[in-house]
Amino acid sequence: MKEDMVMPKMGESITEGTIIKWIKNVGDTVEKDEIILEISTDKVDSEIPTPVAGKISELLAGEGETVEVGNVIARIETDATAAEPAAKKTKAPPEPEKTPQPAKPEPQTAAPVPPPPQEEPQSTKKEGGRFFSPVVLNIARTEGVAAQDLDQIPGTGMGGRVTKKDILNYIASGKKGSQAQTERETPAPTAESPGIGGDGVEIIPMDHIRKKIAEHMVHTAHTSPHVGLFVEVNMSNVFQVRARNKETFLKKEGVKLTYMPFIAEAMVKTLKEFPYVNASIDGDNILIKHFIHLGIAVATEQGLIVPVIKNTDSLNLTGIARAINDLATRARSRKLKPDEVSGGTFSISNFGVYGTSIGFPLINQPQVAILGVGALEKRAIVINDAIAIRPMMNISLSFDHRLIDGALGAEFLQRAKEHLESYDPQLTL
């Protein structure tokens, strides 16, 4: 029996998806919920699992092809003889009297049917017990990386898979092995690194996510006249609350207590007081959002992504902490759904984790403002005409000057500062 696998619907506004890569090929056996391909929408890239266990009999859409939601992209043979591994076939047969049936070597799933020779360079291939993408295999062939050397490369991709970046780094490090070197018969190494031309320029095509990020950034720079302001915040009270609660919070909630939930909660309070900052522009109309969907920027291996905490204003501090951890974890493991990176009304970018003190991020369209969070550092400040050491942090606001004037932006930042500085240092979470 054959089961149709269709392009899944991953969000209310998503009508199609582009196939980035098939991880499995015709003839491969798969378990239920095993990752079979990677697809991309205009929101996010996702890894898609199989709906059933079996053997892949057909792939009906190629890499790079855009397919409408609901259209068949693959067929999987679910017959038990095709789906079960050879080891499982040793289980007791249904009818004992039919034991003189040695003709059962018919299901040779232990040795998957190899694809036609002309397709091998474009297919994902298994070498030494590991799967490698077409890109990785083509680079390996071009650069003369032997199969045994390829199998030793540490993978940073999903499930330990070797990515394009992994193999290029391996090649650049000069660890290709003696077999690869003899196959290439290079008389002596040159001054050029692999992939770099004689003019010293290396050309690396953008991947799908980087293209989308580039398009989005150009769009926002061309759409909104950006203005930036920043203030310095005394984080002493938040610092004390976190220090007192972080160990018990981790044990109770299973989530680390960071500074971001406090910042997010302070933004929710401030946005309620300044609704024009929680808005968007549609032509000559101002759209005020009477709900707060907070976007928190997350840096991933694939690039920057902004998962959205829907209805953040309905959550307490603990709920916000849980939501931030969940979305950030799934963003880095590419488990987000397109609906989870859309619909934001205001965003936060925490570049302070990299030690940066002040920055002005670009607005996440169609929003009209974004908060930048700098590094928390102990600094000398003046309190009541005396010098004191306090944990200080800069926060910045980039805003769309079409809607938000300088006075409104400054008032918003001052109020956010007051909310962050007014936490009860004795608060127990």
Catalytic residues: 401, 405
Q: How many other CB atoms sit within 10 Å of the CB of residue 138?
A: 15
Looking at this protein, which amino acid is placed at residue 85?
P
Helix-strand-coil split of the chain, %, nearest 5: 35, 25, 40
**Are 242 and 257 in contact, with CB atoms under 8 Å apart?**
yes
Q: With b meaning 16 or more CB within 10 Å and e meaning fewer, what string describes 34-54? A: ebbbbbbbebbbbbbebbbbb
CA–CA separation, 26 vs 9, rounded Å? 24
What would the two tokens of residue 323 be? 């939501």
What would the two tokens of residue 126 be? 């298994």
CA–CA separation, 257 vs 66, rounded Å? 41
What would the two tokens of residue 94 be? 């249904």
Q: In what order do the strands lie in the sheet with 29-30?
A: 2-6, 72-77, 54-59, 29-30
CA–CA separation, 294 vs 264, rounded Å? 8
* Contacts with 400 (C-beta within 8 Å, 6 or more apart), sequence order: 224, 225, 226, 281, 363, 368, 369
